[in-house]
A and B are shown apart, each in its own frame.
Chain A
Amino acid sequence: MTHLLQQHLTPEEITLALAGALPAARQEAFEQHRSECKRCAAACAAQLLARQTLAHLGPEPAMPTPLDSRLQKLLARETQPHSTSAEAAQPVLHHFPASEAGSKPTLASTRPARWVAAHRVVVIALAALLALALMAGSVYSVTSLLNQVIDSDPGAKQVDLEHLYVPVNQSQTISGFTVKLEKAYADANRVIVAVTFKEPAGHTYNNVFMLGTKLTANQNVTLPVLGGSGSGTRQAANAFVLWFDGAAISGAPKTLSLHLTATGLNVAQQDGDQSTFKDYTISGAISFDFTIPFHAGRVANLHQSLTAGGTTLTLERVVVTLSETRIYLQGNVIGFATRLSVGNWNSDTGPVGSVVVWPRADGMTMISYGASLFSQHGSWTLKIWASGATQVKSGTPVTGGPWTFHFTVP
């Protein structure tokens, strides 16, 4: 173990150390060496960059609903007990060489023709925090597109399963583009709005999206955008779900009066090859006013402090809503590794949605789990590892741990 102190760390050693996979003594030597050696500290920082930045990869690209339905039906049929004969044990799907262009799987595909042109176009609109799955063809209705987007996020999907989206059905048309606020939902973690766009005939559009989107709630509180996802066709429509930070809402009002505005539309148009691509802005105020119920969720104000390895960590609050589960810790830290478990669920095996560790402007660190755990009761366990974590302001590594919190959420 002493060689760690005398020689520079190898990339593999750093990887193992950051994974907490070294014996305790070696781990200690690693931390000591890292604090003393600039070169190795830089090497660690490079590896940590990957871990920390991949937390911002965005939502998972959504599986097209038709494909998901086909696969679910197939698996339900082919894994049933009646298929126990030797004959039934033969492969049901013939393998097709994925590398051969034009080959057709025997599983009937209803997916639209491939669309490969002008990916750049997509991205420009995607920059509004959207993971956009583009599909050609017009077999997808606006409703199915919206369902697909909602289903891609566990929390948003659970809200849908509980029938808690409130239909808003307000629309505005600007230069032939119709923006429709379809439905919305609000709880103490997320305010979710579902928006669709219908495009005018005569051209083909890769994407359309609102610019300068802003959501304000009761008492003129602006709710920061946290993320979103979208899907669309080139000929017909786009559907988007945006979620805003519900933590900005103080107290537990019964309803929220919301004001959604945008300053115009960003349009990506392409009628032929890439030379026909146009990306332009249509100015025009978009404004929707609507009122929806507010779901306060389950809140545990814990103020629970634990000291491990000489470092104290304080778990302040846990907010469990249908759309998300959030944990608030004292201090501004990035890079914590965490494992949350309750009942039969844990964040290692999921379904978990996205997990984000976010240092907040109010001095706390928020750990967000995209899974809907609202129906989970009983004892919760949160384990936090410091390996790789750093203080935001000072940039110094967090030492000590791991910390294991046990709590209940009323």
Chain B
Amino acid sequence: MLKRQEGVKRARGPASSQEEPGAEPLLLAVYRQHGQTLYGYIRRMLGNTADAEDIMQETIARALDWTRATPLPESEESRQRCRRWLFQVATHLSLDLLRKRKRSPLRFWQALSQPQTEAERERGEDEDVPLQVADPALSVQETIIQQALIRAAFGAMKPAEVSVLLLHEHYGFSLAEVADMRHCSYAAAAKKVARARQQFARHYRSEAGEEDER
């Protein structure tokens, strides 16, 4: 279950920020700022739109309860805390769903490891970028391949590892925040991130046909 922060007054009414006339309610403001990203995270974790919609709704439902019970002053710190809380709950719900349904967690991403198709090969041939044009180091084809490898590596990892990796590496949560979200110590969070990175590298290299450097 979710931990509520110790030392915070609990009330039945809405958060204090919601009582200030003219101020946008905290949860609504955080949703407007981070809702799309939160959904993207859930969608990436679950691999399909239907489940992602369910978990997104459940997360928001719980957030309504939480903000009613946990008054937070209007501040940047409160916004960050609220954002962290949303990702934390979404993580729990997503992992719980994946565990209970006992299915391949990231089948959508696993599918990306299919052999290259004729269509992909054809796209790869269209790599005629003149040298004088400012050009990212990664070509279109390389980017395509890299994205496929990333998703294939995620598909081979444990969902909890993918979650930690996404939260820290892609969504920018610090180790301290990951520790808070996963209810563990700072050192344990560092260990989880390290383990997730190692697993990612192992599967990524395996998918790419490279030797593991361990």
- B206: chain A residues at CB < 8 Å are none
- Is B182 interfacial (CB 8 A cutoff)? no
Q: Mark B5-46, 1 if CB is under 8 A from A, else 0.
A: 000000011100011010001111001111111011001100
User: Given A12-B190, A50-B197, A78-B64, are A223 and B133 neighbors across the interface (CB < 8 Å)?
Assistant: yes
Give the complex CA separation of A258 and B111 in angstroms.
Answer: 36
A348/B169 in contact, CB under 8 A: no
User: Given A71-B56, A221-B133, A360-B136, are A84 and B61 neighbors across the interface (CB < 8 Å)?
Assistant: no
Query: A349 to nearest B CB, angstroms?
Result: 7
- Is B3 interfacial (CB 8 A cutoff)? no
Query: A371 to nearest B CB, angstroms?
Result: 11
Point out the residue from A19, A54, A129 that lies within 8 Å of B170, measured CB to CB.
A54
B190/A351 in contact, CB under 8 A: no
Interface-central residue, B33, B172, B191, by most chain A CB under 10 Å: B172
B57/A83 in contact, CB under 8 A: no
Tell me how many residues of A have a C-beta within 8 Å of chain B. Answer: 101
A54/B165 in contact, CB under 8 A: yes
A76-96 CB contacts (< 8 Å) to partner B: 76, 78-81, 83-84, 86, 89, 91-96
- Is A125 interfacial (CB 8 A cutoff)? yes
Point out the residue from A46, A60, A79, A120 that lies within 8 Å of B25, measured CB to CB.
A79
User: Given A47-B201, A92-B64, are A111 and B49 neighbors across the interface (CB < 8 Å)?
Assistant: yes
Point out the residue from B25, B136, B140 that lies within 8 Å of A75, measured CB to CB.
B25
- Is A252 interfacial (CB 8 A cutoff)? no
Give the complex CA separation of A313 and B19 in angstroms.
Answer: 48
B169-210 CB contacts (< 8 Å) to partner A: 169-170, 172, 174-175, 187, 190-191, 193-198, 200-202, 204-205
- A57: chain B residues at CB < 8 Å are 147, 150, 170
User: Given A56-B138, A98-B58, A119-B108, are A80 and B19 neighbors across the interface (CB < 8 Å)?
Assistant: no
A60/B61 in contact, CB under 8 A: no
- Is A359 interfacial (CB 8 A cutoff)? yes
- Is A330 interfacial (CB 8 A cutoff)? no
Give the complex CA separation of A73 and B205 in angstroms.
Answer: 45
- Is B50 interfacial (CB 8 A cutoff)? yes
- A266: chain B residues at CB < 8 Å are 119, 122
- Is A23 interfacial (CB 8 A cutoff)? no
Query: A387 to nearest B CB, angstroms?
Result: 13
Q: What does DSSP make chain B's interface, helix, strand, loop or mixed?
A: helix
- Is B158 interfacial (CB 8 A cutoff)? no
Which residue of chain B is the closest to A121 with respect to CB atoms?
Answer: B111
- Is B67 interfacial (CB 8 A cutoff)? yes
Give the complex CA separation of A302 and B183 in angstroms.
Answer: 45
Contact segment of A158-166, A209-217, A395-403: A209-217
Point out the residue from A21, A46, A84, A211 that lies within 8 Å of B123, measured CB to CB.
A211
- B80: chain A residues at CB < 8 Å are 349
Which residue of chain B is the closest to A266 with respect to CB atoms?
Answer: B119
Query: A389 to nearest B CB, angstroms?
Result: 14
Query: A195 to nearest B CB, angstroms?
Result: 15
User: Given A81-B21, A212-B122, are A49 and B137 neighbors across the interface (CB < 8 Å)?
Assistant: no
User: Given A53-B204, A98-B54, are A63 and B126 neighbors across the interface (CB < 8 Å)?
Assistant: no
- B149: chain A residues at CB < 8 Å are 53
A62/B170 in contact, CB under 8 A: no
User: Given A84-B19, A281-B122, are A358 and B64 neighbors across the interface (CB < 8 Å)?
Assistant: no
B49/A279 in contact, CB under 8 A: no
Interface-central residue, B14, B49, B200, by most chain A CB under 10 Å: B49
- Is A14 interfacial (CB 8 A cutoff)? yes
- A67: chain B residues at CB < 8 Å are 39, 53, 56-57
Q: Beyond the given A79-B27, A125-B119, A223-B133, could you list 6 further A-B residue pairs with CB under 8 A, ordered by the A residue number?
A: A71-B56, A123-B148, A133-B43, A224-B136, A349-B83, A350-B34
Residues of B bordering A, CB below 8 Å: 12-14, 18-19, 21, 25-28, 31-37, 39-40, 43-44, 47-58, 60-62, 64-65, 67-68, 76, 79-80, 83, 93, 96-97, 100-101, 107-108, 111-112, 114, 117-120, 122-123, 125-126, 128-131, 133-138, 140, 143-144, 146-150, 165-166, 169-170, 172, 174-175, 187, 190-191, 193-198, 200-202, 204-205, 213-214
